[in-house]
Structure 1
Amino acid sequence: MDKKKKLEQRLRDKARLVLKVNYFTSIFTLFFAALCFFVLDIKQVIPYVFLGFGILNLVNTLLYKYHKNLTLTYNIVSIMTLAGAIIITLYSGGINSPFIFVLALIVVAGYVTTKAYGSLYLNLNLLIIVLIYSQSIADFSFVTNVVPEQSRNLFALLSILFSVYLLGGVFGKNLLNSHHNLYKTKDELEAKITEKETLLKEVHHRVKNNLQTVSSLLSLQSRNNDDKKVKELLKSSQNRVISMAMVHEMLYMREDIGKIEYKSYVQELAEYLIRSIKGTSSNITLDIDIPDLKLNIDTAIPLGLLINEAVTNALKYGIVDDSKGEIFIKLRKDDKGEYILNIGDDGIGFAEEVTHKTTKSLGLKLIHNLARQLRGSIIRDLSKKGTHYIVKFREISDQIPSMA
């Protein structure tokens, strides 16, 4: 169920509850008006208020079928109920009137509609009750109890029955049904989400397996080729495939399938590249400074490929042969939400005149193209020994554009 359908369902539930309450209260108040006239012997004010409310509320409820504005229907009935309840309360004993509990129903109806209306009518009714109490204890009173002495107990009984039935039998019953429907929908959504997460994990697992198959084929092709340059190209391609496979493997292995913990990914990738290029025993030191950052797949893969190229170039051309060297990788996020990657080595470096535009090196071109794919910027830091880059970018969540 999409968002639009859920909103429509909520509106239908609210409309059904408000209309049901309106019909019930209209019929009950008309019946109450008849009882006041013919049974309770109340001839002033109260029966006319019941009669007027019943008729006007029926008209208000029937008009909803034409304008379909639930807020308008609710506010009209709330204002009429508030005015009618105040008048009947004042003319049936003031603060001691049992009909005063009807004011609480207006608050409940308000919260059923929206939290804002509920808060509004709660505060308004609290003020009205205090004013009714103040009028009751004053030395003078501008209204009198029009309910005959012999009918007051029966009037109280009918008022309480009306309040209790409306609150429990109508509001309570319908709210319980809505509550059950809400949890039923929630359980269905959770089941669908779990199913999708399982399928997505399986997709990541299969992608990882396919990439490893490609890596194995490249490795096999490399072993069957005697050309050193071709072997290096195949090995570089294999490492690029492995860097992508690692992302999918981490997404498959972890609970959060939307983002990966980037520090552990960079650590594993850098250690793999050192073993792949320099062997199991080398003089390379890793200095990785990455906080607990999580990146989505759209950002993680191109950034991982960029790090792969920078580290590969450092191991192949910066720190030559068995020389001792250090590789620096630092990633942080600034106050503006921009990521800053500092990556480099303390090797021999290369001439300042050599750029991605003038060189024939695929690795150097890829580093700049991947920075552009991240929709960021890249500059070379010439103040330090070796080769160092500063890459600035923001996390992307939409479709990654193809490299130009």
Structure 2
Amino acid sequence: MLRRALASFLITYFFPFLIFSQEDDKIVQITDDPLVQFQRKETPTNKFNYFLSIENPYAESSAYDWLETLNVYIDSSQKTNDSITVRLYKILNAELYNHLKDYTKSLAVAREVYAQMEGLSEEQQEFLLDVMDRNYQALKMFDKQIEIRTLKQTKGFTNKIKFYDVYAEMGLYRKAMDQYIMDEQGTINESDFLGKAVHRNKIGNYLRLDNSPSTAINEFNKASGFLEVYNSDISSDKTQEALNQSALLGLQIKGNIGKSMVDLGESRDAIPYLQESIEGLKKLDSPEYSEDLIDNALSLAEAHIDLGNVRTAKRLLDSYTELNSLDQEQKRNRLLGNYYDKIENFRSASVFYRRNDKLLDSLRQNEQSILKQQLGVIVGTNDVENQITQMQEQKAELEKMKGEVKNRDERFNLVIISLIFTLLGFAGLIFAYLNSIKNQRLIEKQKFIIEDSLKEKESLLKEIHHRVKNNLQMVSSLLSLQTKNTKNKSAILALEEGKSRVKAMALIHQKLYQNEDLSVIEMQGYIESLINSVQSVYKKGGHNISITIDAEGTELDIDRAIPFGLILNELVSNTFKYAFPKSDENGKIYIHLRKNGNKGGYFEYSDNGVGLPDGLNERTNSSMGIRLINRLVNQLQSTLNIDQNSDGVRFWFNFV
């Protein structure tokens, strides 16, 4: 007790003024240590606010030095029953434990203050909730994290709750990307090219993690373009912090492009990107960037294995053994197994694959167990010592489990060795069998790659058709806006006809991306949808026309479907506009479309209206609709035939 009281006195009153360094027989007082400056602040509130303003509190003193100082302050405040001061110092304690990645202890201290949060200022409450938010995220306690964020919104500390980082931690990368885009939309200034680069890089990373590397590369290239514009802009002053952020972002973007190229199988092109990113991150020499560094190194090793540079890959895998996550450990073990496969050490590869699977399952089960135990400890008690004890027990349990897995593997190796000596006479047969397994595995791997590539290409093709449909709909909307601003009836009619033709083409692309088969369109459903679209435009007077469509089972590719769609659009529009000027009670339209195997097909359209006007041949050159139909029929390598009688008009042609 005496030594602790003496330490408290020295740290609080004496230590800040007696830190000296001897240099050339001169005594120089050190004043730039943030911890010293912290101690010199007069009130606990001033100390708290100063800590929040420090960019790097560990410039001179470590986090453990800070903890020791804060514990002295806490003891001193508890003796004077100054509960507000105790809570302030404990909030800082929780932040320090978070920096040390002791998230369970940090959360235990924070929850102790959280239970008595009333009486703290809004700034202090907000900082406490931020610490708890980060701890819950690190411990993957997402339900509690959501509760804290909801409370922050209720208290007015944030305008909108953001969950995209929670979705990403849960592996829901596409949902995280959609939420991120929605939350950040409109928040980035048009001239903030650095912010745009960060935005595009984050979207690209979500796409990469969601197994869409080709789309991700497009986003990374956009991010790189924005960053280049930002770096080349000499008209505005840039702080050192902004320059550092720009340099780090450039390295991250290059690493992300390299990782995406490896995922696409473009290993040779990926290597320069990954090497440049790794060398730059090494120079930064900060634990904050270690995860990016290891991810890039593992992807670089994968690229070298793919290219047959197995020794280079092995050196990389041996250089990075302190991993940050189970995913990194799994990838490293898989790559080591691939390495042994490449050098035809199949026994080691097989053992390594099985060892990786068993260790990974055990670690995942234990991780879930630890999280459940941590939740019970935090909710059930605020006793820090009990939490430390339980965490130590959990770590011991993990080490014991690893030892058991290692022992089982060693016994397995002994069995393998015994079998090898017993079955030496069958060495040739075993070698042939292992070769067949290897070939089968390679065939299955290539099959999986091909199937995955086909699925991705189909998805991209559907996305293209979807975007074409959206663009055509935008054109249709622009025509509608132009119609509203036009008073000339002839111009309005021309715009309406143009809009109808655009809708016919848009419907083709809509049917394509909705189909399972992207190569053909089922014409019966398309014609029905097209008729409904035309009716919605011309049914102002209440048409009562009977329409018969005979195209069941007929499928056309897009090169023939688009001309057919435009031809039908013109014919049906003309029928609704001109065929029944007086009454359409007995109006009929008949549409017939058939294919004759690979020998072409036959199309027929007829109605029982008033027919075509006299002098059709003379009007053909002046009628936009008839000229368009003739050109479309010529595009189908056919000739339009027109039959007119007392029962209406009939259009027909054969096509190849």
| TM-score, scaled relative to structure 1 | 0.53
How does 1:152-301 map onto structure 2 within 5 Å? 168-169=429-430, 171-279=432-540, 281-301=542-562
| Map of 2:155 onto structure 1 | none
Residues 222-270 of structure 1, C-alpha deviation per residue, up to 9 Å, x if partnerless?
A: 1221211111111000000000111111112222222221111100101
| Secondary structure in structure 2 of the residue aligned to 1:288 | strand
Shift of 1:203: 1.0
Question: Partners in 2 of 1:384 and 1:322 — Cα distance?
Answer: 16
Q: 1:291 to 1:186 in 2, by over 3 A?
A: same
How does 1:112-191 map onto structure 2 within 5 Å? 168-169=429-430, 171-191=432-452
Q: 1:343 aligns with which of 587, 598, 605?
A: 605
Question: Partners in 2 of 1:280 and 1:357 — Cα distance?
Answer: 27
| Map of 1:138 onto structure 2 | none
| Map of 1:377 onto structure 2 | 639
| Secondary structure in structure 2 of the residue aligned to 1:347 | coil
Question: Partners in 2 of 1:358 and 1:240 — Cα distance?
Answer: 19
| Secondary structure in structure 2 of the residue aligned to 1:381 | strand
Contact 2:605/2:652 (8 A) holds in 1:
yes
Question: Partners in 2 of 1:309 and 1:366 — Cα distance?
Answer: 8
2:652 alignment partner AA: I
Question: Partners in 1 of 2:553 and 2:436 — Cα distance?
Answer: 44
Q: 2:595 aligns with which of 318, 330, 333?
A: 333
2:601 alignment partner AA: Y
Question: Partners in 1 of 2:521 and 2:597 — Cα distance?
Answer: 21
Shift of 1:279: 2.8
1:341 alignment partner AA: F
Question: Partners in 1 of 2:512 and 2:623 — Cα distance?
Answer: 32
Count of aligned pairs = 233
Residues 133-185 of structure 1, C-alpha deviation per residue, up to 9 Å, x if partnerless?
A: xxxxxxxxxxxxxxxxxxxxxxxxxxxx9x9876x446544333222211111
Question: Partners in 1 of 2:433 and 2:614 — Cα distance?
Answer: 77
Q: 1:347 to 1:164 in 2, by over 3 A?
A: farther
Question: Partners in 1 of 2:454 and 2:642 — Cα distance?
Answer: 44
| Map of 1:323 onto structure 2 | 584
| Map of 2:627 onto structure 1 | 365
| Map of 2:214 onto structure 1 | none
Question: Partners in 1 of 2:530 and 2:572 — Cα distance?
Answer: 9
* Structure 2: gaps spanning 5 or more residues: 1-422
Question: Partners in 1 of 2:625 and 2:600 — Cα distance?
Answer: 25
Question: Partners in 2 of 1:281 and 1:369 — Cα distance?
Answer: 32
CA RMSD of aligned residues (A): 2.5
Shift of 1:218: 0.8
Question: Partners in 1 of 2:443 and 2:646 — Cα distance?
Answer: 61
Are residue 389 (structure 1) and residue 643 (structure 2) matched?
no
Question: Partners in 1 of 2:460 and 2:555 — Cα distance?
Answer: 22
1:328 alignment partner AA: Y
| Map of 1:312 onto structure 2 | 573
Shift of 1:326: 1.4
| Secondary structure in structure 2 of the residue aligned to 1:232 | helix
Contact 1:239/1:273 (8 A) holds in 2:
yes
Q: 1:193 to 1:210 in 2, by over 3 A?
A: same
Contact 1:356/1:365 (8 A) holds in 2:
no
Question: Partners in 1 of 2:580 and 2:430 — Cα distance?
Answer: 81
How does 1:9-88 map onto structure 2 within 5 Å? none
Q: Which has the higher contact order (CA 8 A, sep 6+)?
A: 1
| Map of 2:143 onto structure 1 | none
| Secondary structure in structure 1 of the residue aligned to 2:629 | helix
Contact 1:331/1:340 (8 A) holds in 2:
yes
Shift of 1:337: 2.7
Question: Partners in 2 of 1:359 and 1:293 — Cα distance?
Answer: 33
Question: Partners in 2 of 1:321 and 1:216 — Cα distance?
Answer: 32
Question: Partners in 2 of 1:384 and 1:289 — Cα distance?
Answer: 23
Question: Partners in 2 of 1:358 and 1:199 — Cα distance?
Answer: 42
Shift of 1:352: 6.6
Residues 264-291 of structure 1, C-alpha deviation per residue, up to 9 Å, x if partnerless?
A: 1100101211221123832122110112
Q: Percent identity?
A: 36
Residues 349-394 of structure 1, C-alpha deviation per residue, up to 9 Å, x if partnerless?
A: 1147513874411001111100111222321134672121112112
Contact 1:318/1:387 (8 A) holds in 2:
no
Contact 1:356/1:368 (8 A) holds in 2:
no
Contact 2:612/2:644 (8 A) holds in 1:
no
Shift of 1:294: 1.9
Contact 2:620/2:627 (8 A) holds in 1:
no
Question: Partners in 1 of 2:655 and 2:506 — Cα distance?
Answer: 23
Shift of 1:323: 2.5
Question: Partners in 1 of 2:594 and 2:551 — Cα distance?
Answer: 6
Higher mean alpha-carbon deviation, 360-369 vs 308-317, is at: 308-317
Q: 1:393 to 1:164 in 2, by over 3 A?
A: farther
Question: Partners in 2 of 1:279 and 1:353 — Cα distance?
Answer: 30
| Map of 1:147 onto structure 2 | none
Shift of 1:322: 4.5
| Map of 1:107 onto structure 2 | none
